Amino acid sequence: MQLATDRERAPQPCTLAERFAQIRAQSVRLVEPLSDADATIQSMPDASPAKWHLAHTTWFFETFVLRDHMSGYRLFDADWPFLFNSYYEAEGPRHARPSRGMLSRPALDAVMAYRAYVDAAMYGLLEQGRDPSGRVAQLVELGLNHEQQHQELLLTDIKHALAQNPLGPTYASGCQESEALAVLNAWHGHPGGIAIVGHDGTGFAFDNEGPAHRVLVEPFALSAALVTNREWQAFIDDGGYHDPGPWLSDGWAWVNENAIEAPMYWRGEEAFTLGGWKERHPDAPVGHISFYEADAFATWAGARLPTEFEWETIAGDHDPAGGNQLDADTRLGSVNPTGAPGLFGDCWQWTRSAYLPYPHYQPAEGAVGEYNGKFMSGQCVLKGASCATPRGHSRRTYRNFFHPHQRWQFTGLRLAKDS
C-alpha cells in the first residue's frame, strides 16, 4: 500500500468549474519557463510544440462544448480549427502533424489570449448549470482528462526538443534532481484465477478502459520495483545491445537500423533531464526505453514483461494517486523518476499486451469516438503513471498506449515471472 503522505497529496473533490480552473491553470504554469521560440519548436513528428498543446486543448473545449452546446457562441478565430485539430476526421481537414513546428504564428501571447477567451465562455456555460442530459458535464470531464494527457505530453515534448540543443539547456532553472530512493527487492505474488478487469462504469474513464470483463490469470509474480539504471548498465555491460539472443526480430532490426546503444538521453555517466544534463543515479528507475528494449531486458534477466491484466490485478492494492507524480507545487526541473514505492508514478510501464478492444467495446458517439478506438492497431499497452503524469489522472484500469519503438515518453519496466 502507498504511504499516507501520498494519499494526502491526492486531489480533493471539488466542483467541475473548480477543477476546470485548476487544470487549465496547470497548463499555463507548465509553459511559464518557456520563451516564444521554446514553445514553437517541434523536434520530431511524434512531438508537438508547447504552444500547439495549449491551443489544441483549448480547441477541444471550443469545438465539442462551446460550439455545440452554448447558444450564440462565436469562434475566437474561424481559421484556427484547421490549425489545432489533431486527428478528428469528422471535424474536417487539418494542418499536417509533422509541420506543427512551422506555425511561428499565431505567437504564444495570441494562443494565451485564445485560452482566456474560451475559458471565459466556459465559466459562463458552467455557471448557467443548464445541462439536463448531463452531456455538457461529460464532455467537460473528457476535455479535462484530455488536457491532463497533454500536460504530460508537453513536458516530454519540450524535454525532447531541448535535448537536441548542444548547450543542453534547462527547462526550469534552479531545480535540482531528487535523490533516488532505496530499491525494493521484493515481488507481489498472485495465485491466479478468474479476475475482473476493466472499468466498471463508476466515475470517469476513457472508453478504451471498458467494459469490465473476466479474464483467466495464471499464477505469477510482479516485481515491487521498477528496473533501475544500475541494472540496465549491467545489461549494457553484458553486451545487451550487441547480442541478438534476447531481442524480438523487429526489435533487433530497430536496434541495428537506428544504432541504438543505450536508453534515450544517456550520454556517458550522464542523462538529459528537464533540469539539464545530470549524473545518472544508479538506483533511480531507468526511463525512456522502447517496448523492444524492455522486452529484451526482461528476457536477458530471465523474466518477462507482465500482461496488462496481471498488472491490473496487483494494482488493486495500490493507490493510483501515490508515488512520484506531477503536483501543482512540483519543481518542474525536478520531474524525474526517483523510485518511489508502489505501482504508480515514476515511469509508465510496458506490458506485453497489444492495445486491442475489450469484449463488447463500443467507442463513444460522435467525433469524440475517434479519441481511442481507431488507434487499436500495432501498439502496446502501458500501465501506471509517470513523474510527469498529473496526480489523480491515472487509475488501475488506465490504458496508455504507444508504438513499440517509441521512447521519448517517461517509459520504464517492471518485471514479471511465472509462479
- Residue pLDDT tens, the chain, 419 long: 233 334 344 456 589 999 999 999 999 999 999 999 999 999 999 999 999 999 999 999 999 999 999 999 999 999 999 999 999 999 999 999 999 999 999 999 999 999 999 999 999 999 887 886 789 999 999 999 999 999 999 999 999 999 999 999 999 975 555 566 656 679 999 999 999 999 999 999 999 999 999 999 999 999 999 999 999 999 999 999 999 999 999 999 999 999 999 999 999 999 999 999 999 999 999 999 999 999 999 999 999 999 999 999 999 989 999 999 999 999 999 999 999 999 999 999 999 999 999 999 988 887 788 788 899 999 999 999 999 999 999 999 999 999 999 999 999 999 999 99
Comparing CA positions, the residue from 137, 22, 42, 147 lying closest to residue 98 is 42
Final residue of a domain: which of 163, 198, 221?
A: 163
Final residue of a domain: which of 163, 198, 230?
A: 163
The range of the structural domain enclosing residue 42 comes to 4-163
Euclidean distance between CA atoms 45 and 98, whole angstroms: 4
Residues 143 and 203 in one domain: no
Residues 191 and 136 in one domain: no
Final residue of a domain: which of 131, 163, 195?
A: 163
Residues 134 and 277 in one domain: no
Domain presence at residue 61: yes
- Residue 71: Cβ-neighbour burial (10 angstroms; 0-12, 13-18, 19+): exposed
Q: How many domains is the chain built from? A: 2
Please tell me the number of Cα atoms within 13 Å of 125 on its side-chain side: 26
Euclidean distance between CA atoms 417 and 221, whole angstroms: 5
Which backbone phi and psi does 219 adopt, to 5 degrees? -55, 135
Domain presence at residue 146: yes
Which residues lie across from 417 on neighbouring strands?
221
Alpha-helical runs (H) found in 175-248:
229-237
Residues 199 and 133 in one domain: no
Residues 147 and 218 in one domain: no
Q: Kindly report the pTM of this predicted structure.
A: 0.94
Domain presence at residue 169: no
Pairing relationship of beta strands 411-412 and 213-217 according to DSSP bridges = unpaired
Q: What is the CATH number of the domain that holds 19?
A: 1.20.120
Q: What is the CATH number of the domain that holds 266?
A: 3.90.1580.10
Asked if residue 205 lies in contact with residue 362, where contact means CB atoms within 8 angstroms, the answer is no
Comparing CA positions, the residue from 383, 327, 358 lying closest to residue 178 is 327
Residues 219 and 275 in one domain: yes
Residues 143 and 192 in one domain: no
Domain presence at residue 304: yes
Residues 257 and 365 in one domain: yes
Residues 270 and 157 in one domain: no
Residues 194 and 156 in one domain: no
Domain presence at residue 245: yes
Residues 159 and 192 in one domain: no
Residues 393 and 302 in one domain: yes
Domain presence at residue 59: yes
Domain presence at residue 175: no
Domain presence at residue 259: yes
Neighbours of 109 (CB within 10 A): 10
